[in-house]
Amino acid sequence: MIKLKCPLKSVKFILNQYVNPRIEISFYNLIQINPVNTVYGIGRTLLASSTLITLLANSPDVLFPQTIQVVEAPVSPLVGMSLFNLLVDHLVIAKLLAIISLITVIIGIYPRYTGILHWYVAFSFFSACKVIDGGDHANSVLTLMIVPLTLLDNRKWHWKSPKQETNPPILQNTIAWSFVMLIRVQVSIIYLHAAVGKTGVKEWLDGTAVYYWFTHHYHGAAEWLKPIVVRTTSLPYIVTTISWGTIVLEFLLFACLFLSPKDPRRKIFLVLGIGFHLAIVLVHGLVSFYLVMCAALVLYLSNYSSAYIFLENKSLKTWILSRLS
């Protein structure tokens, strides 16, 4: 583990001198906890799964049609160093390398070394792929913001809960929490931007937008689902409730930024958010986008002080190992 020393007395002195006492207690309690635990591990796995599914389900010709040709537009040095540009003549090999890298991230082995690799693959895919959506953009940003957490992670795999230390590394935890907070701000802005953007569209304000989206010839519901969707969204009170409810929920998800870390309402909105994006999957079929937003919600709304420790249960661990053997 990277050891960063910071005298506890120094932190207490700064908090006593310059910070409101109530904030001091909350912050002091927070930095006793190591946020580099299974919570962020779940986020990494979901983000990697999103890119992996897209790569497995599509051929290089579909994902990178213009990458194969000579691109006349100037390419920035960073984009030029991306995996699919460096191996432009060997896209199958590039795809295979990306898949192997993403599988190692999903398994969770040595996050300190796979963190930067994960971001590189996500960025390479986003910068080279020609059929991306907003989820791929969010994926490349979130994987970059997770990199500092991975560098502070000395575990062999990210599914193992960190050891409880009697003298926690205060400075290290402070740095880790700083990036967790940045991730939370980033995710909250995604929902704020989505909600505010809808308020400027006539169809969202009059409550009919969902009808047009659900019945769209390309982005709409699947053929087997369309009869149900058309009949349901033809009812004014239902389509209006869904349209306005979407805007309200997105504003509320943004407002979760201001909830305290242990506020029980975080769990409620985590479930609501995942359910909201699951409904989008059922109608629009955006599976990769769903996985990215689930990862974003886990990183945003989870209580890092009570990390998921299901793999620490010995009986469960024994059962899993017996099934794998």
Q: Per-block average pLDDT, block size 10, for the chain (325 residues)?
A: 52 48 54 84 96 92 67 65 86 94 95 95 90 88 96 89 72 90 96 95 90 81 81 86 95 94 90 94 89 96 66 49 51
| Confidence at residue 68, expressed as pLDDT on a 0 to 100 scale | 46
Nearest to 140 by CA among 302, 303, 288, 307: 288
Does residue 311 contact residue 160 with C-beta atoms inside 8 Å?
Answer: yes
Q: Is 325 inside any structural domain?
A: no
Which residue range(s) make up the domain with 135?
8-160+168-320
pLDDT at res. 278: 94
Count of the separate structural domains present in the chain: 1
Cβ–Cβ under 8 Å, residues 304 and 35: yes
The burial class, CB within 10 Å (0-12 / 13-18 / 19+), for 101 is buried
Inside any domain, residue 179? yes
> What is residue 260's predicted lDDT score, i.e. its pLDDT?
84
pLDDT value, residue 24:
42
Q: Is residue 1 part of a domain?
A: no
pLDDT of 104:
95
- What is the pTM assigned to this prediction? 0.83
The DSSP call for residue 259 is S
Q: Is residue 176 part of a domain?
A: yes
Count other Cβ atoms within 10 Å, centred on residue 63.
20
Q: Is residue 89 part of a domain?
A: yes
Per-residue H/E/C for 133-144: CHHHHHHHHHHH
Contact 296, 190 (CB under 8 A): yes
Is 3 a member of any domain? no
Confirm whether 2 is domain-assigned.
Answer: no
